[in-house]
Structure 1
Amino acid sequence: MSIIVAMSENHVIGRNGQLPWSLPDEWGYFREVTAGKPFLMGRKSYQAADALHSTYRNVVLSTQPDLPLHERSERAGTLPEALALLAAEEEVFVLGGVAVFREVLPLAQKLYLSVVHAELDGDAFFPVLDWADWKLTASRHHGPDQRHAYGFTMNQYQRIPNPPIS
């Protein structure tokens, strides 16, 4: 399980069901990292106006049995059901929303976290992490320019394994 998310410095990940920024090169990074991989997301993230869907496979967490789905998409009523559907996949990218991030965070082994260098208003926030559980493995900064109102840093983290209890 890998979580991929962009958040502002004050943990905002959304406002009114959309991203509160437009960062074309960060979207390019997202597409590069997730190409050919399955996505796991909640219903609101799946149905958002700016939603990204995998061209390979999408699993949507929803209790709505009649949820309208696009091609290459399937519904799971619970996280265990979604995990069973995705059990054979090498890497699954979790796209949110907030409730899905909270539920999946203890299971995630990788975190692709882009930090937008701004404090923004929003109504959806990424959970606070215990950074002692994570090791930074890669980082790339992109400054503001004509196409990007904000600078951002694309970070990759690996979960630090728990030491064996003796």
Structure 2
Amino acid sequence: MKLQLYIIAAMSENHVIGLNNNLPWHLPDEWAHFRRVTEGKAFIMGRKSFEAPDALHSEYRNVIITSRPPAHAGPNVEYAKDISGAIALLSDETDVFILGGASIFQQMLSLADRMYLTIVHAQVAGDAYFPAFDMADWELASSEFHGADDDHAYSFSMNLYIRKRPE
């Protein structure tokens, strides 16, 4: 089977995905959605995303892209120097999730087959942004709206986009 690459991210309406290497919001139901979607799958992410205080790691397999891998990897952690090296390490997988950060999303956007993209319905301050993309390349397959409540300061929509294939 062909390796399928899936971007998974949450961004504000102004494309913010992070502030000081943390998420700029706390959305427990969105995290639960993330866990459901990615359970038992391999992850690719940059070093800063992996080291973020609020980072989620795969209990199965994490490939970290960094120019300076440590001498010893932790459990379920592998290192690659670049995107092609990460993909080569995971060539035996069928479904791989790309977790960011911004430069990893930018480099992998053209390779992704799907995007699990949560839109946080707010304009927030940040220093990391999801890259611009052409919506004409994607079909919205599903969308689930979640309103703001006592546990969620912002409303959000958990969207699944599937890349349109040339006919």
User: In which range does the TM-score fall when normalised by the shorter chain?
Assistant: over 0.9
In the alignment, which residue of structure 2 is the partner of 1:144? 148
Output one character per residue of 1:106-151: Cα deviation in whole Å (capped at 9) or x when no partner.
Answer: 1000000000000000000000110010000011000000000000
CA distance in 2, matches of 1:70, 1:29: 26
Match for residue 40 of structure 1 among 29, 34, 44: 44
Query: What's the CA shift for 1:69?
Result: 3.4
Q: Compute the RMSD of aligned alpha carbons.
A: 0.9
SS of equivalent to 1:53: coil
* Gap change, CA 1:67 and 1:111, over 3 Å in 2: farther
Query: What's the CA shift for 1:68?
Result: 5.5
* Gap change, CA 1:103 and 1:28, over 3 Å in 2: same
In the alignment, which residue of structure 2 is the partner of 1:72? 76
Structure 2: gaps (5+ residues): none
TM-score, scaled relative to structure 2: 0.95
CA distance in 2, matches of 1:3, 1:18: 18
SS of equivalent to 1:41: strand
In the alignment, which residue of structure 2 is the partner of 1:158? 162
**Are 1:125 and 2:129 counterparts?**
yes
CA distance in 1, matches of 2:18, 2:70: 26
AA at the equivalent of 2:83: L
In the alignment, which residue of structure 2 is the partner of 1:12? 16
Output one character per residue of 1:44-100: Cα deviation in whole Å (capped at 9) or x when no partner.
Answer: 000111111000000000010326632100000111111111111111000000110
AA at the equivalent of 1:85: L
Query: What's the CA shift for 1:4?
Result: 0.1
In the alignment, which residue of structure 2 is the partner of 1:92? 96
**Are 1:58 and 2:90 counterparts?**
no
CA distance in 1, matches of 2:69, 2:35: 29
In the alignment, which residue of structure 1 is the partner of 2:112? 108
TM-score, scaled relative to structure 1: 0.96
AA at the equivalent of 2:152: H
CA distance in 2, matches of 1:98, 1:50: 16
* Gap change, CA 1:159 and 1:87, over 3 Å in 2: same
Match for residue 31 of structure 1 among 25, 32, 35: 35
CA distance in 2, matches of 1:94, 1:82: 11
